[in-house]
Amino acid sequence: MKKIKISLLAALLLCAFMYVKASDGKSEICLHGYVTDAVTKKPVQGVVVSATVPGVNMSKEVTTDADGYFSFTQLPATQVNIQFDKKGYQSFKKAGVLVKEKTSIKVNIEFLPESNDANAEESEYPLLRMLEMN
């Protein structure tokens, strides 16, 4: 009987801990996606992806892996600005991405290579900047 009481108490404590952890305004993976090259369509490794909260001194940074994948965990439920930077590519910034509690946002980007051609314009790739955001 004592073992059952201890087991039940342990289960209740675990449930309480998980409830507090889940309700702290942060989610497991709240912002993630893939970065590919707009020309070659191949994954881009080593892209520095930054997430900042406007008006607050909070910033997080991750780097894409060999598959071009990045993910942020434990971002606050608020609007964030995300920026993508890598030498040889045009920087890209998306402001006002709304991170909601217990919601995962997927952002796939086709990264535009820098051009040495003065006549080349970004309009050559009008819809390639942000492919998907949901």
Residue 5 located in a structural domain: no
Distance in angstroms (rounded) separating the CA atoms of residues 33 and 92:
14
Residue 124 located in a structural domain: yes
Distance in angstroms (rounded) separating the CA atoms of residues 23 and 11:
18
pLDDT for the residue numbered 101: 84
Residue 43 located in a structural domain: yes
CB 30 within 8 A of CB 103: yes
How many folded domains does the chain comprise?
1
CATH at residue 128: 2.60.40.1120
Residue 33 located in a structural domain: yes
Q: What is the pTM of this model?
A: 0.68
Give the domain extent around 55.
25-133
Please, what is the end-to-end C-alpha distance for the chain in angstroms? 50
- Beta pairing class for 31-37 and 105-111: parallel
**pLDDT profile of the chain (134 residues), mean per 10:** 49 42 51 93 96 90 97 90 95 90 88 67 42 47
pLDDT for the residue numbered 133: 52
Smallest CA-to-CA distance from 38 within 106, 93, 83, 90 is with 90
Residue 20 located in a structural domain: no
Residue 127 located in a structural domain: yes
Q: Which amino acid type is present at position 80?
A: V
Residue 69 located in a structural domain: yes
Residue 86 located in a structural domain: yes
pLDDT for the residue numbered 24: 43
